[in-house]
Amino acid sequence: MSQVNRKIGITDTSLRDAHQSLLATRMRIDEMMPILEVMDQVGYHSLEVWGGATFDACMRFLDEDPWERLRKLRKKLKSTKLQMLLRGQNLVGYRHYPDDVLEEFIKKAVSNGIDIIRIFDALNDLRNMEKAISRTRAEGAHAQGTISYTISPFHSIDYFVKQGQDLRSLGADSICIKDMAGLISPFDAYELVGKLKKEVGLPVQLHCHYTSGMASMAYLKAAEAGVDVIDTANAALAMGASQPATDTMVAAFQGTEYDTGLDLELLVRVSNHFNEISCGYEIPREVMGVDTNVLSYQIPGGMISNLASQLAEQKATHLFKDVLAEVPRVREDLGYPPLVTPSSQIVGTQAVVNVLTGGRYKMVSTEIKNYLRGLYGRPPGEVNQDLLKKVLKNEQPISGRPADLLKPQLEEARAEISEYIEQDEDVLSYVIFPNVAIDFFKRRQGLLPPLELPSTCNTQKKAVHSSAQKAAQSSPKLELLHYIDETLLWGDEDNPVYPAG
């Protein structure tokens, strides 16, 4: 009558989501390198190390080639599976890319070292995930299909279970419940995981942010319901807008049928390392601790700080409450998209504009227009028909898969940047972030001065005599946690990817 030992796997997010959530994605490869060999001995199910905002941040802020970062990680992490986050047809950017770009991107991600690709779509539109799933499998990697979890009149446990079944028919190897805003309650986690296990039959992984304070309880209940893997971060970069702590969850399950089997001593060494490097950063108050705004407004923690900084730039901080209340209304008008990149930025920016201009939809961003045209995919619920008519006039939204409208882009792009190309992967960096990549290539060739990087902990320690104030000034500015590429949001007209009209 001995229980089957169903060890729970741990995906540690310290090298991707944790620092994206707390340190504005600013952790550098040289801050990771010293601890990688220890991490490789831990026996994690996987390490999430790439994708999401890291790709953009590497080139934009850190003067690092994201591909080179991946190769360095792969070289040190010899026995641990490496995982990345892919925004479906948006790859690691903010809009759809044509299939030739998607195929080449996945091929290069895998050949440079990725084993598991977590594939999501902000609208849970399967058509935006299907190519990525089939391509990932064709490259021999593990394709994890994702349910972007949210709460709305259109979303229910049954809706998500149906999505799990659909992801399985697309070929997904496992299912991730992605609770980016930390909204899932422990009892909903129990029910959803249990039903997915029973009715989909694939391994289930739960990814929660700690924002509302419920995540570690959700993990415990998910364990009882049979979850296979949970996502955590080392203790120094856990909680707040990040994941529950690896060390805590490992200790909590120790000696039970859910025992992770991981060595706490090694985990302490890992956490100590990140504790040391994180002293070089100023973690903003808004992403620490528990933020229950998320429960009233369904707004992820990172998005709240982004709204706050957009308002501060406009000297309109006093309108913060109005904007918070406007976000759910815009979300309703758009048919309740889950709030995750890029829908969180689209909804958030429009809410700010609606409040600042003193009239709803007096001005509408290009992105809202494209959303209403169906160019991001099919909204989960019904879109406000008055808004639709006002913005689209007589134009009909598309009904097909958005990427079917896009022409192949790779060959032309290769010709455009021939003078900068040092590796095949450069074309992908350029297609996804044209302006950011060109500047990065120029700095790489010495045509532009290198970026001034903030000093790290170690250099601050060496300069022990310099004043505390100076050290504070040299810390990176972390207000813009979920920055957006303004040129992509507002300058779409100059850089038409979608056919006009």
Q: Of 21 and 354, which CB lies nearer to Co ion in the complex structure? A: 21
Q: Of 205 and 349, which CB lies nearer to Co ion in the complex structure? A: 205
Give the HSE-up count for residue 343: Cα atoms under 13 Å, Cβ half-sphere: 36
CB of 281 to Co ion, least distance (A): 19
CB of 365 to Co ion, least distance (A): 25
Q: Of 180 and 223, which CB lies nearer to Co ion in the complex structure? A: 180
CB of 20 to Co ion, least distance (A): 8
Q: Of 101 and 299, which CB lies nearer to Co ion in the complex structure? A: 299
DSSP H stretches of helix in 77-209: 99-111, 130-138, 157-169, 186-199
**Should residue 426 be labelled a site residue for Co ion when binding is judged by CB under 5 A?**
no
Structure tokens at 260: 């992770």
The contacts of residue 35 (CB under 8 Å, 6+ apart) are: 269, 270, 273, 274
* DSSP 8-state secondary structure symbol assigned to residue 112: T
CB of 77 to Co ion, least distance (A): 20
Q: Are strands 82-86 and 9-12 parallel, antiparallel or unpaired?
A: unpaired
How many other C-beta atoms can be found within 10 angstroms of the C-beta atom of residue 33? 13
Rounded CA-CA distance 491/494 in Å is 6
Which x/- pattern over 10-49 shows residues binding Co ion (rule: CB under 5 A)? -------x--------------------------------
At 86, which helix (H) or strand (E)? strand 82-86
Q: Which of residues 437-496 bind Co ion (CB under 5 A)?
A: none
Q: Of 17 and 286, which CB lies nearer to Co ion in the complex structure? A: 17
Residue nearest Co ion, Cβ-based: 17
Q: Which of residues 287-346 bind Co ion (CB under 5 A)?
A: none
CB of 33 to Co ion, least distance (A): 24
CB of 85 to Co ion, least distance (A): 7
Structure tokens at 191: 């029910």
Per rule CB under 5 A, count of chain residues that contact Co ion: 1
**Backbone phi, psi, residue 47, to 5°:** -120, 125
**Backbone phi, psi, residue 15, to 5°:** -90, 0
- CA-nearest of 95, 477, 476 to 313 is 477
Q: Of 17 and 247, which CB lies nearer to Co ion in the complex structure? A: 17
CB of 209 to Co ion, least distance (A): 6
**Backbone phi, psi, residue 251, to 5°:** -65, -40
Rounded CA-CA distance 457/494 in Å is 42
Q: Of 17 and 64, which CB lies nearer to Co ion in the complex structure? A: 17
The footprint of Co ion (CB under 5 A) covers 17
